[in-house]
Chains A and B, each alone.
Chain A
């Protein structure tokens, strides 16, 4: 809404008169935040590229680290351990996201109707998301413990032999998937419910009057209307799969062998366990490219400057 002419001296040319651009430079407002993000996020990313050209190890002054050009990247392509952790990451992402999506969306569709006390339940459901990843790792490490873990006790009750959950490759993988599902299914559930409850009532009523049955109503009306929310939630979970390392660091440390070593954890272990800082940086470059590629996909679907959301 344009200002009246009495204040035209104060108005900027942009049609956004709230920000008094003549007397305050917007760059002064954004500069401090941009400076901190440049130093704390952009510089490390650039530094990871730079370090990947040097064979730097822990305990060695950086000046003495030999320049090795692209040889870390050549080595990476042939490195079975890197490929294995990429494969673990893909399998982990596939199973966790598939199960979380199916569970979260179905539960949301079933329990969407507003009901007295729903907000109390929603408060409880977000608790797993609020717990520190370290604590999540510690809790489940205790529950999956082979000797005194509660899970072995309860599967014993139904006649299953106790298992060494975190000492067996397949079982440890199951354990990290299970833990992730416990923590993140509520996220999908909450998001999808919010999307469903924001749908315009008239459209839903119309579909009912037109005689759509329950399945048609869900598959042809409701789900298509919230598909952008589902898509973005899916992309965000996918990016998280490439970022996650704290829960696994505590729960399994990536083991046994490399059975639960997601790519992020692999980089960490390379850098600080086998102490190859330069080589770990080269693998970080791969990780950055993967994550930025996925983030770019989100940018295609959303506009960060848009004022109102789609729902």
Chain B
């Protein structure tokens, strides 16, 4: 038996070593970005890669926050991210509820075409979106971006929420109706509280896409409506390649998605798996 437990120990050790190696591979590029954002230009330009031990500086952060329009970009990103998330959850939630609970003509058509248009490539949206901007002269309005992000996110949100609504037993609604609740009361008082985690998952995915999106934001925003990713990309052309500052900008952009990951990894993975199972 000693032999058996030794082999078991070796197997578990190997398992952990493999997981640690993979974790290092996943984290290293992200850590290099964070580390570089705290380096002054002399250290960045020296060819020796320094992972941990250097004199950190906040100069890069001070620079991006005081020069340029960082606060405007941040504010735009926050507005666009929260507004499109809120709209997606509200509209997508209603639609998913109807798809999950009602039988009506066109139900299957809506479900199938939602799955198809979810795959529309952003590059295909680019020219028609640009045409709208040119024709209506609307490149200084965040509403355009909020509208497109809501449209982009609705298909995924709808069927994610559909799955969550399906898991709630119909008997709960029946009981509430017997007790005299109106349909709207049933939706807001019974269903929504039970759907908290469903809306949380859908909200995380929606916010992340709106927060990270770049190509449409580049086309649909003007000087005062740029979002953070557009601002970050601008650093490459505006000031040559100032890696310390670029990495500081990148670090700030990555903070919200990373926070979501640490607090809701299980839900995010559940959403991804559901996506792979259902397309």
Contact = CB atoms under 8 A, between A and B. Distances in A.
Interface of A: 1, 3, 6-7, 10, 12, 14-21, 23-24, 26-27, 29-30, 32-34, 36-37, 39-45, 47-48, 51, 62, 107, 110-111, 113, 115, 117-119, 121-135, 138-140, 142-143, 147-148, 150, 153-154, 182, 186-187, 190-191, 194-195, 228-229, 232-233, 235-236, 239, 242-243, 245-246, 249-250, 263-265, 267-268, 271-272, 277, 280-281, 284, 287-288, 291-292, 294-296, 298-299, 301-302, 304-311
Contact of B26 (A125, A147, A263): A125
B103 A16 contact: yes
A6 B124 CA distance: 54
A58 to B, nearest CB: 8
A121 B24 CA distance: 10
Nearest 10 CB-CB pairings of A with B: A40-B151, A14-B103, A19-B101, A132-B212, A29-B98, A44-B128, A33-B95, A26-B102, A264-B123, A123-B265
Nearest to A264: B123
A130 B258 contact: yes
A51 B178 CA distance: 55
Contacts of B125: 40-41, 44
Contacts of B99: 30, 305
A124 B27 contact: yes
9 contacts: A41-B117, A44-B124, A51-B128, A130-B268, A131-B30, A131-B212, A142-B36, A182-B29, A305-B111
B265 A245 contact: no
Given A138-B232, A138-B250, A299 B33 contact: no
B80 interface: no
Contact of A127 (B18, B152, B174, B258): B258
Nearest to A60: B134
B174 A148 contact: no
A130 B260 contact: yes
Contacts of A245: 122-123, 215
Contact of A42 (B48, B117, B123): B117
A267 B124 contact: yes
B175 to A, nearest CB: 10
B257 A239 contact: no
A66 to B, nearest CB: 16
Contact of A291 (B44, B120, B135, B159): B120
Given A7-B177, A288-B124, A153 B47 contact: yes
Interface string B102-141: 1110011011101111111111111111110011000000
Contacts, number: 349
B265 A139 contact: no
A107 B147 CA distance: 40
Contacts of B119: 239, 243, 291-292, 294-295
Chain B interface size band reads 35 or more
Interface string B146-162: 01101110110011001
A296 B116 contact: yes
Contacts of A299: 112, 115-116, 279
A234 to B, nearest CB: 10
Interface in B33-54: 33, 36, 44-49
A12 B219 CA distance: 48
Contact of A305 (B107, B152, B233): B107
Contact of A121 (B22, B97, B115, B130): B22
By CB atoms of chain A within 10 A, which of B98, B171, B243 has the most?
Answer: B98
A36 B279 contact: no
A148 to B, nearest CB: 6
Interface string B168-196: 00110110011000111010000000000
B205 to A, nearest CB: 10
B18 A110 contact: yes
Interface string B55-67: 0000000000000
Contacts of B118: 295
Contact of B266 (A107, A119, A132): A119
Contact of B122 (A15, A143, A264): A264
B121 A298 contact: no
A121 B170 CA distance: 37
B22 A148 contact: no
B254 A182 contact: no
Contact of A235 (B110, B272, B279): B279
Contacts of B44: 148
B111 to A, nearest CB: 4
B198 interface: no
Contact of A236 (B148, B262, B274, B276): B276
Contacts of B147: 36, 39-40
B86 interface: no
Nearest to A110: B18
A286 B171 CA distance: 48
A20 B186 CA distance: 10
A191 B32 contact: no
A264 B151 contact: no
Contacts of A235: 279
A190 B166 CA distance: 24
